[in-house]
Structure 1
Amino acid sequence: MMTQQTIPVTDVNEAAVLLQEGKVVVYPTETFFAVGCLATDVRAVDAVYRIKRRPSGMPLPVIIGSAGQLGLVTAVSSPLVTRLAELFWPGPLSVLVTASDRIPAILTGETGRVAVRVTPHPAAAALCTACGGALVSTSANISGRQAVTAASGLDPELVGQVAAVVDMPPAPAGGKPSTLVEVAGPAHVRIVRPGAVTEDALQTAGISVVV
């Protein structure tokens, strides 16, 4: 384990500058610490894959600081996505949307779609706002190793390859990942990955769920 003193800790504003320079940083989310970069920077996205040793064919999700940043991720307007945003964002619901041409193909796994959510973590949301873009948000661990909820538990091998770590409260709470859904019709969604938002919660909110 690393000691707190060896972690290159920075604040949101300094981290935002690093992100705009094409760097990779670690930051807290509502569940675990994440490693990420500006979602539109193909070289930085590629660096995230290398740092995590993640196969390039596996898509990476992104976060935004508010629903107003959704246009940075997709150019396709959907009334149902707008409704999901109103009901569940900020929160642990990720929605598959058609990626804009500013999103690198590698980030989508060559599918043309990207999973996006508005994070409820204040530091992560502030980071998105400060850097003016959507952020890649994948757990800050080497693929196959354990995700962490404390900066002191970050893998030295990973931290040694990033520009900085944002370690601001509240601490990530762990727990279930975000639920991932895709639009399956004008008023229907399909659950791609179960998570913190249950099917019952979607149905109760008036969202029809299909298999």
Structure 2
Amino acid sequence: MTTAEGLVETSLDTAVETIRKGGLLIYPTEAVYGLGCDYRSSTAVERLLELKQRPVDKGLILAASHVEQILPLIRPNHGDELAQALKTWPGHHTWVFRASSKVPAWISGAHSTVAVRVSSHPVIKKMCDALGHAIVSTSANPAGVEPSSNIAVIKDVFGPQVDYYLDLPLGEEKNPSQIHNAVDGLTLRL
């Protein structure tokens, strides 16, 4: 679905349509620009992983607008696991749960878990509400390169390999989301 120029615009409708058609999207998150797609599309995820130079076995984070979009994807061992995540959602916290059978292998990677967050960013919320499901949420940078908060820099890196660049404001966080293990509550990334 790659366009000739990799459009940089501000249309949420076009961003949603890009995801629906299996395209790759750069979009604002709480701290940096994200690179996303429909997590259910193996073709879109393969393109995303190739662009990021990221091995599939590492797994990917999913962002959603509501916990109802997350519940079918996780298998908490007990209610306390979900309860601790719900205390931080919507928000800038990613939680790693045991994955349900609905999580594709290209999302969980070499793990039996899935990393999920219910975002508080208005753009992510609106996109996921319109789609009715979570999306891939990984930083918009090649592996080993620092994430950027400048969409022009990101477009210089990825160019027309990304179908749409959604140029709307970032959130006010300074770092990518914290990642917590739902089983033991330990913080995996600050």
TM range (shorter): 0.7 to 0.9
Deviation at 1:10, TM superposition (A): 4.5
Q: Work out whether 1:89 is the aligned partner of 2:85.
A: no
Residue 119 of structure 1 contacts residue 125 of structure 1 at CA under 8 Å; is this kept in 2? yes
Task: Give SS of 2:16's match.
Answer: helix
Deviation at 1:172, TM superposition (A): 4.0
Structure 2, unaligned runs of 5 or more? none
Q: Work out whether 1:48 is the aligned partner of 2:44.
A: no
Q: Work out whether 1:70 is the aligned partner of 2:33.
A: no
Structure 1, unaligned runs of 5 or more? 196-211
What is the correspondence of 1:72-151 to structure 2 with a 5 Å cutoff?
72-74=72-74, 76=76, 78-151=78-151
TM score, norm. by length of structure 1: 0.79
Identity %: 27
Higher gyration radius (CA): 1
**Compared with structure 1, are the counterparts of its residues 98 and 146 closer, same or farther at alpha carbon in structure 2 (3 Å cutoff)?**
same
Within 2, Cα distance between the matches of 1:118 and 1:161? 27
**Compared with structure 1, are the counterparts of its residues 65 and 163 closer, same or farther at alpha carbon in structure 2 (3 Å cutoff)?**
same
Q: Once the two structures are superposed, what CA deviation does each residue of 1:32-71 show, in whole Å capped at 9, x if it has no partner?
A: 0000111121111111101111122211111111122112
Residue 65 of structure 1 contacts residue 128 of structure 1 at CA under 8 Å; is this kept in 2? yes
2:177 maps to which residue? 178
Q: Which has the higher contact order (CA 8 A, sep 6+)?
A: 2
Residue 10 of structure 2 contacts residue 168 of structure 2 at CA under 8 Å; is this kept in 1? no
Equivalent pairs, count = 186
TM score, norm. by length of structure 2: 0.87
CA RMSD of aligned residues (A): 2.2
2:188 maps to which residue? 192
